[in-house]
Amino acid sequence: MTGELASTASTAEVRAQRSLSATMFTNAWKTTEFRIGFFIFFGLIVLSIAGPSLLGVSPTKFSVAQKFMPPVGFGGDWSHILGTDQMGRDLFARSLIGLRNALIIGVTSVVGMFVVGSAIGMIAGYVGGWIELLLMRITDAQMAIPVIILAITILGLSRPTPVTIICVLILAGWPAYARTARSVMLSERRKEYVRAAKILGASNIRILLVHIAPNILPPIAFVAVLDVARMMIIEAILGFIGIGIQPPTPTFGTIIADGTKYLMNAWWITTVPGLLLTISLCGINLMGGALERARNKLLQGVS
Amino acid sequence: MMSDAKPILQVRDLTVELRTAHAPRRVLDQVSLDVHANEVLGIIGESGSGKTVLSRALVNWVARPLEMTSGEILYRGEDLRKMPAQRMQSLRGRSIAYIGSDPTTALDPTLPIGHQIMEKLKSVEPGISNEAARKRVIHTLDAVRMPMAAKRFDDFPFQFSGGMMQRVMIVDALVTSPDLLVADNITQPLDVTVAAQILRLLKELQADYRTAILFVSSLLGMVHGIADNVLVLAGGKAVELQSVDGILTAPQHAYTRHLVREMPRIWEAAPEGRISAPAPQSDDREVILSVRDVSRVYATKDRSRLFGKQHVQAVRGVSFDVMKGDSLGIVGESGCGKSSLSRLLSRLEAPDTGEILFKGQNIATLKGRAMLKLRKGFQLLLQDPYNSIPSHMSIGRIIAEPLIIHGGLSKAEIRGKVAEVMSEVGLSSDLAGSLPVGLSAGQRQRVNIARAMVLEPELLILDETLSALDQVEQAKLLTLFERLQMRHGITYLYISHDLGMVRRVCNRVAVMYLGRIVELAGNETTFFDSGHPYTRALLSAVPAIEHRPYEASTYLLEGEPPNPINIPPGCSFRTRCPFAFDRCATVDPMLTARGKGDFAACHLAGGGMPASVAAAGTTFA
Amino acid sequence: MIFALDFFLRRMAQGLVIIVLVAMLIFTLLRVVPGDPVRTMLGPMASAEVAEQTAQKMGLRDPIPVQFAKYVGQVVTGDFGRSFVRSAQGASTGGSRGGATFDASNRAPVMGLILTAVPYSLLLAGLALGISLLISLPIGIAAGLKSGKWPDRLALYLSSIFVSLPNIWLALVLIFLVSVKGGLLPAIGYQNWTYAILPAFVLAIELSPVFIRSASVAVSSNMLEPYVAAGQIRGLSRARMILVHVLRNAMIPLLNVLGIQAIGLLLGSLFVIEYAFNYPGVGLLMINAVFQRDFPVIQAIAILACTLLVLVNILVDFAATNIDRRLQY
Ligand code: SF4
């Protein structure tokens, strides 16, 4: 229930800012949850890059003598801070490699689906007519198969490698972006600045790339941050089922799956990777959530 | 007024502050006023004068960051500010009603209007039976002349036009017969004829219901039509309270004098009011734009038939010529087709039939390079100064964009041209490197103008270009346009709903109704000796304090334009025309010449309408 | 009436196109992945000629479009073919059995397999949806009404944690704590409906953030709509505006989310969770079919899942147009 004055004040404020997306980012940055998420996320990135060598232990070296060592504080010692698995491999080191793989797959696939999806959506929304109809029906069809089902089917039947996994995730994930980009485009192409560019004589490609894209893509990209977390979960699920990146490369999913057999006597084998994954997802989600909320608030015109 | 009776509403030293991060700012500063039973008190003020805050404060609707810091609002001696919430709430619906300026968002969009008014009635008068409530609502709908009231009871808000929706809100306010009605700028979003109808209606209802009205508006002409006394609000202070005639004849405060002087005038030309002299009427001028029988139809879904389509006839056979150096105004109310026409003229869309010849070439069919080349010659300026320029480019880059698109110039040449055009439109050259951050609406519109001017066009189409700006900025830009016209011989097409502005700057005027030009004539003829009843109705409805040649009582009928889907045969204005006769129902009048360069599409154009009432003010040659 | 007819005809036609596209995609996919299904059926012991004969007989050597046309012809009569690997008695055939004893009539019809699994999945999905709405609507609505205050913060942090819990890991943790250590609820397999509670809870946790977020956004943005303030000025109480008007209007984006996001998410996760809990629903059937390369089962489930999504979408959209008539225009 903002009064008339308050709402005009806030729109004026918005207009005075550099650009919509910069405003969103600064607004998000001001929130505690964004900062918490940011620090968790970047802390973990640093850890996953530098961690294994810092720890001084190899993630793949096994020794039967050291198997099932519990973490420090539960009867373990400092040579393997978070314990070892059934083959005596260092769990922390393995989980960090798992995190690195999950991040690579999550980020690359989201970038891919963002690029493919927004391009298709923008074209559909801008061009209209039968092209739009066709593209949107394909999008609908693709969307009618849940991501995970498509991924399980394809990867279960072919040989999963990091590249195929990323391709499958892109294939499964682009329609959501196409949908969003199209609906934003539908309202955007009626805006006066687009009309203005047309009147000046700008070509359609120029209008799309130079005028519209810089305006509509950043807010969509903000929400894509949340998808990185989703894709990381899917990567873990695929590993768990056994159709993710194949051993010996450690992934969250495979470590957790290994651990299920030893739940009773070595609970830490599933707990360590599970917790590390949950914490990193929390970081990403807090960040992405803050960006999304900043965007929604701005679009609602509340400050 | 019976000044001895106790007023029903007394406001004493009301102060409202805006709490911001910085120092609090006073939005209302010790405002006092009285409203007596059955009185209509007008409140006039510009935007930002605090009039909306004041009218909301009277129903105790002041939300953060605004805060009432002192003063009292006494309703029959009881202070609203100290009243328990429960009591305030029942008072609001029953005794003090409020209508705001945007009727289309005032009700829940998902429920029928009748049900929502009944909901209010029943919560304010708990004892009332469903049947009685329904009857009362329908009765009141009849009273505001809602056609087919019983049927429309079940319609949803989005099925009403703005004007009809405002009637619904009036019903909602009056259905409980309140003592006091706060009407906050209720005619603001409406077209002139509809606004005039609402004003007339409110006057009649006021007499019937004997409700005191606080009528808030930014237009003196509007308040003049209804109020007994007027309170002038400026910068949050009440600067003057007078009878409505007193304000006009003997304004006391400097601000009021300024307000009265700045009133846009149509018939009595204020000496400094007129900006551009009519272009010379020599016959051998070049025709720069020739529109020949242009039509445009949009297909929409028809909900009453399976897979049905219906056709909105937005532009119907429009023809006119524009001579070089002319300033042609295209006027009409919303839905008349003027914005569709502007899209066609600027070649954002192609017409279904007809030709648009710009310097002899048909832009309706031209494509590719040839089109691009021709485009330099005609440019369109849009209404919204915020949305029409990109926020992520520097100002210099924005203005250079058309040159880059059209190509053929070196970087240095482009920079030179941009600098030149910036200084021409009055933008300081050191702005070139910065983003359009923090530019005022007027400055942004200058960027727009520069961007168009850099192509050196011969024709500029101004589609409501100035309507988002305040009076002062408008005047400055009009002067700029005039200067550009003198220097470069530019031809202007003003597409506008603002008759006052058209009167001041256009030498020719085209009036549109239902997708068609019904009158096309010189400035003087249009405003003093119009040949079409619709033009006269429009002019009779303009909120003005002048003596006007056309009386609303003669020309202004009830009703709204028919929808452009099923346009009946015969004259399209006949459903609202006070002079319609048999022939009008069957024969569609063509645009025919009445005098030299003056055309009207009416069977009575040659004579048969009442003569214009001679204007009292000075006419000029 | 006309609107409803027009709506359903139009949407059903669109839906059909979508389903055919999906069917085509899955069908083609299954025929281009490496590996010969005949080998799966007959096992490694069968001779090359027998394999070739069987393949010919089953039409597996026809061009893909021909195969697809035949398949569609079958499907419209409700026949999704027979499993490659499961016998009608329920045990898996294939691999372990040698020789040419392969017998078409002995293989289980796909439709039968699916129909036995569907009730389990429905129970699980229904329970999950119920639990998650029960958790998320009160939280989401409270957050929307008190935008920026503590319920809003609570909802934010809660939903951030919920989305960050990987469902398989949560499943393991709950199995370990609640079932193995606590002995409170059964977990693996299915004997009675209590076996559905734990997996349903995992699904509900995964689903809740979607509802919490959209409910809070829907309510808070509706609270800012001018009609809410105007209603109070017209003499209606704030409580009435919220209960009668705001919640009604907030239903529309919620229905949208249900149709577009939630059902797809639920369906996808259902498969994984059934696998993790060894719960005998459609999902487990599907994942096992993938491992066994049982193509008829895979394609039938994919097509039916897609059909279900399309239908739910149509119904949800229809419900929305009934709440807000503007959507009919
Ligand atoms: S033709 Fe007839 S109906 Fe039309 S404007 Fe003239 S008098 Fe009125």
Q: What is the pLDDT of residue A143?
A: 79
Among C48, C53, A8, smallest CA distance to B65 is for A8
C-alpha B595/C-alpha B73 separation (Å) is 60
| CA–CA dist C150, C147 (Å, integer) | 8
Q: Do C221 and A300 touch (CB under 8 A)?
A: yes
Domain that holds residue B168: 104-175
**CB proximity A253 to C under 8 Å:** yes
- The answer to whether the Cβ–Cβ distance between B375 and A201 falls below 8 Å is yes
- Higher-confidence position of A158 and A15: A158
HSE-CB at A301 with a 13 A cutoff on CA atoms is 15
Search chain B and give the residue with CA nearest C326. Answer: B158
Of B90, B108, B173, the CB nearest to C249: B108
Half-sphere exposure of A72 (CA within 13 A, CB side): 8
Task: Return residues 197-226 of C near B (CB < 8 Å).
Answer: 225-226
pLDDT at C51: 76
What does the pLDDT read at residue C209? 93
| Lowest-confidence pick of A85-94, C89-98, C309-318 | C89-98
Matching residue, tokens 């695929």: A238
Looking up tokens 């699920």 gives A237
Based on the fold, state whether residues B7 and B47 are members of the same structural domain: yes
Confirm or reject: Cβ of B603 under 6 Å from ligand 1: yes
The predicted pLDDT at position A52 comes to 65
Whether B145 is covered by a domain: the verdict is: yes
Tokens of B582: 């048999």
Of B408, B427, B456, the position where a domain reaches its end is B456
Looking at per-residue pLDDT, the higher value among C64 and B152 belongs to B152
**Is the minimum distance from the CB of B609 to ligand 1 under 6 angstroms?**
no
Chain B interface mutation, best of A5, A8, A302, highest count of B Cβ atoms under 10 Å: A5
| Chosen domain end from B240, B263, B286 | B263
| B282 interfacial to chain C (CB closer than 8 Å) | no
Looking at A85-89, B257-261, B598-602, C52-56, which range is the least confident one? Answer: A85-89
- For the packed helices C247-257 and C110-145, what is the interaxial angle rounded to 10 degrees? 140
Length of chain A: 303
Q: A49: Cβ–Cβ under 8 A, 6 or more apart, which residues?
A: A100
From the candidates B108, B115, B176, B184, which should be mutated to test the interface with C, based on the most C CB atoms within 10 A? B108
Residues in chain B within 8 Å Cβ distance of A5: 18, 27, 52-53, 65-66
Q: Looking at the structure, do residues B79 and B114 belong to the same domain, yes or no? A: no
Q: Give the three-state DSSP class for B510.
A: strand
Q: Computed from CA positions of residues B420, B422, B425, B426, in that sequence, does the dihedral angle turn out positive or negative?
A: negative
**Cβ C278 vs Cβ C188: under 8 Å:** yes
Is B543 among the domain residues?
no
Q: Whose CA is nearest to atom 5 of ligand 1?
A: B602
Residue among B480, B484, B482, B398 nearest B436 (CA): B398
Asked if B105's CB is within 8 angstroms of C230's CB, the reply is yes
Two tokens at B201? 């209606």
CA distances from B125 to B118, B120, B474, C137, C235 (A): 10, 8, 49, 34, 10
Residues 6+ apart with CB under 8 A from B328: B320, B322, B491, B492, B493, B494, B506, B507, B508, B509, B510
**Are the beta carbons of A60 and A90 closer than 8 angstroms?**
no
Q: How many domains does chain B have?
A: 3
pLDDT of residue B283: 61
**Whether residues B17 and B85 fall in one domain:** yes
N- to C-terminal Cα distance for chain B? Answer: 44
Residue contact A148–C272, C-beta within 8 A: yes
In-domain check, residue B203: yes
Give the residue whose CA is nearest to atom 6 of ligand 1.
Answer: B602
Q: Estimate to the nearest angstrom the gap between the alpha carbon of A227 and the chain centroid.
A: 4
H helices of A128-161, in order, are: 129-143, 147-157
Q: Which positions ≥6 away from C219 have C-beta within 8 Å?
A: C140, C141, C143, C144, C145, C246, C247, C250
Separation of alpha carbons A180 and A3, rounded Å: 31
Report residue B213 as tokens.
């009205």
B73 and B152 housed in the same domain: no
Omega within 30 of 0 (cis) for the link into B578: no
Pick B346's closest partner by Cβ from A6, A17, A199: A199
Which pLDDT score is estimated for A114? 95
Token pair in block for residue B341? 């026409």
**The whole model's pTM is what?**
0.84
- CATH code of B61's domain: 3.40.50.300
Strand B361-362, strand B353-358: pairing: antiparallel
Better-scored residue on pLDDT, A113 or A68: A113
Whether B123 and B45 share a structural domain: no
Q: How far apart are alpha carbons B121 and B172 in whole angstroms? A: 8
In this structure, the answer to whether residues B77 and B196 fall within a common structural domain is yes
Position B449 in a domain: yes
Torsion of CA B520, B516, B355, B309, to 10 degrees: 170
Integer Cα distance of C270 and C267 in angstroms: 5
Pairing assessment for the beta strands B180-184 and B212-217 based on DSSP bridges: parallel
β-pairing, B40-44 with B212-217? parallel
- Half-sphere exposure in the Cβ direction for C117 (13 Å, CA): 25
- Is the predicted pLDDT of residue A301 greater than 70, yes or no? no
Give the integer Cα–Cα distance in Å for B52 and B578.
37
Task: Compute CA C96 distance to the chain's CA centroid, rounded to the nearest angstrom.
Answer: 32
Tokens of B112: 């029928």
> Which is the closest atom of ligand 1 to the Cα of B571?
4
Residues 174-203 of B with CB under 8 A from C: 176
Judged on CB neighbours under 10 Å (0-12, 13-18, 19+), C227 is buried
Distance from CA of B181 to the nearest CA of C (A): 11
Residue where a domain stops, chosen among B160, B175, B190: B175
Q: Does domain C113-323 have CATH number 1.10.3720.10?
A: yes
- Closest Cα in chain B to C238: B89
Which positions ≥6 away from B489 have C-beta within 8 Å? B324, B325, B458
Shared domain for B394 and B444, answered yes or no, is yes
In a shared domain, residues B116 and B9: no
Collapsing DSSP states into helix, strand and coil, what is residue B546? coil
Residue A78: Cβ-neighbour burial (10 angstroms; 0-12, 13-18, 19+): exposed
For residue B573, report the distance from its CA to the centre of ligand 1, in Å.
6
Distance A5 CA to ligand 1 centre (A): 46
Q: How far is the CA of B557 from the centre of ligand 1 (A)?
A: 13
CA B398 to chain CA centroid, nearest Å: 30
Spatial neighbors of B283 by CB under 8 A, at least 6 apart, are: none
In a domain, B318, yes or no: no
Contacts of B375 in chain A (CB under 8 A): 199-201
| Binary contact (B435, A18; C-beta < 8 A) | yes
Is the torsion defined by CA of A167, A168, A173, A174 positive or negative? positive
Residue B575 lies in a domain: no
AA identity, residue A179? R
Contact B319, B351 (CB under 8 A): no
**Alpha carbon distance A68, A62 (integer Å):** 11
Question: Which residues neighbour B230 within 8 Å (Cβ) at sequence distance 6 or greater?
Answer: B41, B42, B43, B44, B223, B240, B241, B242, B243, B244, B247
Using CB atoms, pick whichever of A148, A233, A286 lies closest to residue C160.
A286
Q: Do C271 and A149 count as a contact with CB atoms less than 8 A apart?
A: yes
Mean pLDDT by 10 residues, chain B (621 residues): 70 88 83 90 86 89 85 88 84 88 91 94 88 93 89 91 91 91 89 89 90 90 88 90 88 87 73 49 76 90 73 90 91 88 90 91 85 89 83 87 88 91 88 81 90 92 85 85 89 90 90 93 89 91 82 82 82 89 90 87 83 51 31
User: Would you tell me the crossing angle of helices A268-300 and A91-127 to the nearest 10 degrees?
Assistant: 30
Residue of B550, B571, B592 with the most ligand 1 atoms within 8 Å of its CB, for mutation: B571
Which pLDDT band holds residue A121 (cuts at 50, 70, 90)? very high
CB-CB neighbors (< 8 A) of A200 in chain B: 375, 379, 401-402, 405, 451-452, 455
- Reply yes or no on whether the pLDDT at C254 is more than 80: yes
pLDDT in tens, A105-114: 999 999 999 9
Average pLDDT (C281-305) is: 89
In the stretch 204-223 of chain A, residues with CB closer than 8 A to chain B read 206, 211, 214-215
B580: Cβ below 6 Å to ligand 1?
A: yes
**Tens of pLDDT, residues A145-189:** 888 888 888 888 888 889 999 999 998 889 889 989 998 898 888
What H or E segment, with its residue span, contains residue B297?
Answer: strand B287-302
The answer to whether residue B366 is domain-embedded is no
The separation between CA C302 and the C-alpha centre of its own chain, rounded to angstroms, equals: 10
Contact B573, B515 (CB under 8 A): no
Spans of all domains in chain C = 2-111, 113-323
Show Cβ contacts of residue B590 under 8 Å, excluding neighbours closer than 6 positions. B601
Look at phi and psi of residue B493 and say left if phi exceeds 0, alpha if psi is from -120 to 50, else beta. Answer: beta
pLDDT at B214: 93
Same domain, B89 and B25: yes
B18 and B76 assigned to the same domain: yes
Contact B110 C324 (CB under 8 A): yes
Amino acid at A273: P
Binding site membership of B604 for ligand 1 (Cβ less than 6 Å): yes
Q: Specify whether B3 is located in the same domain as B88.
A: yes
Q: How far apart are CA A224 and CA A243, in angstroms?
A: 25
Q: Answer yes or no: is B113 within a domain.
A: yes
Residue C104 is predicted with a pLDDT of 57
What mean pLDDT is reported for chain C?
Answer: 85
Let me know whether B225 and B84 are in one domain.
Answer: yes
| Cα(B389)–Cα(B385) distance, integer angstroms | 7
* CA–CA separation, B152 and B154 (whole Å): 5
- For C34, the closest of A145, A158, A285 (CB atoms) is A158
Is B404 in the A-facing interface, judged by CB distances under 8 Å?
A: no
Q: Which amino acid is at C100?
A: A
Q: How many angstroms does the Cα of residue B591 sit away from the middle of ligand 1?
A: 12
- Distance in angstroms (rounded) separating the CA atoms of residues A266 and A141: 44
| Amino acid at site A278 | T
Residue with tokens 């400092």: A78
Chain A residues in contact with C217 (beta carbon < 8 A):
296
Spatial separation of the C-alpha atoms in residues B306 and C8, rounded to whole Å: 11
Which residues of C, range 229-258, sit inside 8 Å of B by Cβ?
Answer: 229-237, 240, 244-245, 248-249, 252
Query: Would you say residue A13 has pLDDT above 50?
Result: no
Both structure tokens of A104: 């690579």
E strand or H helix at B217, and its extent?
A: strand B212-217
B406 contact A CB<8A = yes
Count CB neighbours of B608 within 10 A. Answer: 10
What stretches of A17-60 show up as alpha helix (H) in DSSP?
20-29, 32-55
Does the beta carbon of B605 lie inside 6 Å of ligand 1?
no
The residue among B177, B174, B224 whose CA lies nearest residue B196 is B224
pLDDT at B132: 93
* Helix, coil or strand: residue B519: strand
Nearest to residue B144, comparing CAs of B199, B212, B225, B221? Answer: B199
Query: Considering only residues 148 to 167 of chain A, which have any Cβ-Cβ distance to chain C shorter than 8 Å?
Result: 148-149, 152-154, 156-159
The whole-angstrom separation of Cα B210 and Cα B206 is 5
